[in-house]
Amino acid sequence: MKKSQLIAGNWKMNGSLAANEALVRAVVAGLAGGGAACRVAVCVPSPYLAQVRSLCEGSALELGAQDVSRHGQGAYTGEVSAAMLEEFGVRYAIVGHSERRQYHGESDSVVADKARAALAHGITPIVCVGETLAEREAGQTASVVRRQLAAVIDAVGDGLARIVVAYEPVWAIGTGRTATPEQAQQVHAALRAQLRAATAQADGVAILYGGSMNAANAASLLAQPDIDGGLIGGASLKAPDFLQIIAAAH
């Protein structure tokens, strides 16, 4: 059975104590007033987890992290473990975002390890997959996202039904360019087929679109049969825009 859609904000490296409070209070108030039909989360920088957890308390807004270590503990300076995130009530953790793959050299196997680490502590990994513009123009979209997802499928075993997948065409992140609803649906359908081949519970796995979804295009993207929500970047930093995207979900 398909789950309700999920709208997850990714603040990236943005925020301040004052800005966070204003933003989260506005989002919480909007959710309370309208009664969102979907699940809603914000994935925030690690230093703000405690603050945002407090601001979310008693609301429908869930807490997410932007990354998680593949390691449980030890001499890994700067890393944050899944056990630490669990203590802060983190519900979701983004793994394999294209910016982590590009700037930090994260391989498919590292991403798979991170997904497994999150699941071991009851945290839902939001597994990001997506192709660059060069890969799309070379006709490699399907093979790239299939390879990226296959690594996670192989690593998490029975935990597969508890992950979230986010398709984020790299060429559409922060560029203002967006895949058309038809382009996005085509990739989402391929990912769904790959999940169905791996688990009988594939239709319960949310597949989010993560390439510059905004208030203007959210409704048309979210209407596609295999698009189960959005991983929202810049628009999640503006409460009115984020709430408008949430209102378009179901």
Catalytic residue numbers? 97, 168
Q: Please list, in sequence order, all residues whose beta carbon lies within 8 angstroms of the beta carbon of residue 179, skipping any fewer than 6 positions away.
A: 169, 172, 187, 209, 211
Strands (E), 74-173: 92-95, 124-129, 164-167
Residue 152, token pair as written in the block: 């996670």
As a whole number of angstroms, the distance between CA 56 and CA 80 comes to: 21
Q: Kindly report the three-state secondary structure assignment for every residue of 159-216.
A: HHHHCEEEECCHHHCCCCCCCCHHHHHHHHHHHHHHHHHHCCCHHHCCEEECCCCCCC
Position of tokens 């929500």? 229
Task: Give the contacts of 73 (CB within 8 A, at least 6 positions apart).
Answer: 81, 83
Alpha-carbon gap, residue 187 to 168, rounded angstroms: 10
Q: Which long-range contacts (CB under 8 A, 24 or more apart) does 48-52 make?
A: 48/15, 48/17, 48/20, 49/85, 49/88, 49/90, 50/88, 51/17, 51/20, 51/21, 52/20, 52/24
162 residue type, one letter? R
